[in-house]
Structure 1
Amino acid sequence: MTILVTAATAPAGRSIVEQLIAAGRNVRALTRDPKEANLPESAEIVAGDLSDADSLKAAFQGVSAVFLLAVVPGFAPAFLAAAREAGVRRIVFQSSGAIVDGVEEQPNPIAAFHAELERQIRESGLEWTFLRLEIASADPLQWAFDVPGQLGAGNVVRGPYGQAGCSPIHPADFAAVAISCFTGDEHAGQVYHLTGPVSLTHVEQIELLGEALGRPLRYEELEPTVARKAISPYAPADVLFETWEKHLGTPAPVTDTVERITGRPPRTVTAWAADLASTLR
């Protein structure tokens, strides 16, 4: 069985590819630019884009299961039609923990986008598993405030709400759950909520990262209005700030999904920080 991994150069997609290769499985990695993918040599790397139906038809040939990470509006009808035509059996979809079930209107655009995709996948006739990643577990501080870029300039990370709780998940743990869902029939039609193992404040995240890097890092709190203005042009500020405000002085959610699905404990936050540090080096 060949598994197609979309967004194969993103942290979770890359780890899925690496773990499948290590297990001797057939994997096809979909990326816009194969020359820049830097994936294991034994992976089959193909050029493609979710918005390009022709590239998807070629990528789906001989594929039985697909890992889907989607940020492209309007791609789903052509994507699902091409998957059915090629004989794909199952889709494992990285969805959002922001979704609220049983409501007519979702609470924010991220939830609405992913809920609509879930609906279309459910109605496609394909088997599916939805991995709802909590926003507080998706390392939002790292990408919204460009922590790598800030650390390239010094030992200070500037962002809002230093005491907001997050529960970052190691990409390899998310990947391990996705891989389990490719093969076990018991995962078909299931919705799993994923988080990291521990709630950490923004300050604690940067302290752990500093220990892993061997650098005296510190977190400098930005006034929320200033911070919101800084990221609004390129990140969903309303959703992120709502999440952080909700977890000011309150731990972020923590689930047992990783251990329940994979049969082993999740990686520690120390391991999370050490592996993040290795990418920064």
Structure 2
Amino acid sequence: MTILVTGATGNIGRHVIHQLVARNADVRALVRDPAKANFPESVTVAQGDLLDVDALRNAMSDVSTLFLLNGVVADEFTQALIVLNVAREARIKRLVYLSVIHSDVYVNVPHFAGKFGVERMIEQMGFDATILRPAYFIQNDITIKDVISGYGVYPMPIGSRGLAMIDSADIGEIAALELLRRAQAIDPLPTTRLNLVGPDTLTGEDIAAIWSEVLGREISYGGGDVEAFEQNLRTFMPSWMAYDMRLMSERFISDGMRPEDGDVERLTNLLGRRLRSYRDFAVGISKSA
């Protein structure tokens, strides 16, 4: 009953691995560079990537359950479809897929639309699947902590509709629980979707207020200048990706990223504890600085 984890060395995948190992699962990790695979000894490492068909076939040998995570890249949709087809060829039926919340709403945002397409293929190909739809990752804001502390500004253009930000560790634990639920089920389980959200739905002003409290000085919200946001992103990522992020931010501002009724309670019950909050994150970051 081996569980294969893709994206295993990333921010989410490493939490999935940790949680599965803690529950004594038989885990295999697909990685590009085994030298970077700092996993417990019980984890089997398979080298390859999501476009290497031979490597995928090798990694999926004798696997019962698959965790599919592929990043925001230009060929993300192709990667996912290759993996799904090789998985079907390997007779893997049980799957947990990391999509994104509102993938069917943010229809003009490339990586959202791509993930919604993958969701549809999972259903049409007959997988026994849990589709996880996380909101904004709290840990995305690690990249701007120096701006917050150095300039007194929270710069992310998230607007006033509110985002239900979730901690990456919570995503990893929920994914592990769903993988085990499906791997251990005697009979096939119906395909389900879970919105992964944090305990609070926060606006830009809300987050600035949290940082003001945690740091003990005034932090302001930088507003919704998505053009400036795109131009800044272009200094360290490809132009297509920066534009994708701009389109996403425009939808943050116009639509928000809000939970549905019952989402928070459902996840709290699944974890058996409270969800980690943005304030928890901010306090942890300030103490480690």
Q: Is 1:195 matched up with 2:192?
A: no
Distance 1:10 1:150, change over 3 A: farther
Q: Distance in 1 between matches of 2:70 and 2:219?
A: 34
The alpha-carbon deviation at position 209 of structure 1 amounts to: 5.7
1:117-196 equivalences in 2 (<5 Å):
117-134=118-135, 137-139=136-138, 142=141, 146-148=143-145, 150=147, 156-160=153-157, 163=160, 165-184=162-181, 185=185, 188-196=190-198
Q: Quick one: distance in 1 between partners of 2:96 and 2:33?
A: 23
| Alignment partner, residue 282 of structure 2 | 273
1:109 aligns with 2:106: no
Q: Structure 2, unaligned stretches of length 5 or more? A: none
Matched-pair contact (CA < 8 Å) for 1:203–1:218:
no
Q: Residues 155 and 45 of structure 1: is their aligned pair in 2 closer, same or farther, counting only changes over 3 Å? A: farther
**Does 2:93 align with 1:89?**
yes
RMSD: 3.3
Contact 1:209 1:277 in 2 (8 A): no
Residue 242 (structure 1) aligns with: 251
Equivalent-residue separation in structure 1 for 2:258 and 2:8 (angstroms) = 28
Find the residue that maps to 1:27 and give its secondary structure.
strand
Task: Provide the rounded CA distance (Å) in 2 between the counterparts of 1:238 and 1:121.
Answer: 26
Q: Is the 8 A contact 2:70 2:80 kept in 1?
A: no
Identity of aligned residues (%): 28
Query: Residue type of the partner of 1:80?
Result: L
Conserved 8 A contact 1:32-1:49: yes
Q: Distance in 1 between matches of 2:282 and 2:24?
A: 28
Q: Describe the superposition over 1:233-269 as per-residue Cα deviations: whole angstroms up to 9, x where unpaired.
A: 333211222213434xxx8436223124334332333
Cα distance, 1:16 vs. partner? 0.7
Q: 2:77 aligns with which of 69, 73, 77?
A: 73
**TM-score normalised according to structure 2 size:** 0.77
Aligned residue in 2 for 1:262: 271
* Post-superposition offset of 1:32: 1.6
Return the letter of the residue paired with 1:253. P
**Per-residue deviation, 1:192:** 1.3
Match of 1:73, SS state, is helix
Distance 1:73 1:19 in 2: 27
Distance in 2, Cα, partners of 1:206 & 1:40: 38
CA contact (8 A) 2:208 2:221 kept: no
Residues in 1 aligned to 2:169 and 2:160: alpha-carbon distance in whole angstroms: 26
8 A Cα contact 1:155 1:215, kept in partner: no
**Distance (Å, rounded) in 1 between the aligned partners of 2:189 and 2:131:** 9
The verdict on how the C-alpha distance between 1:209 and 1:62 changes in structure 2, with shifts beyond 3 A counting, is farther
Q: Distance in 1 between matches of 2:170 and 2:130?
A: 16
Task: State the shift of 1:10 in Å.
Answer: 2.0
How many angstroms does 1:31 deviate by?
Answer: 2.0
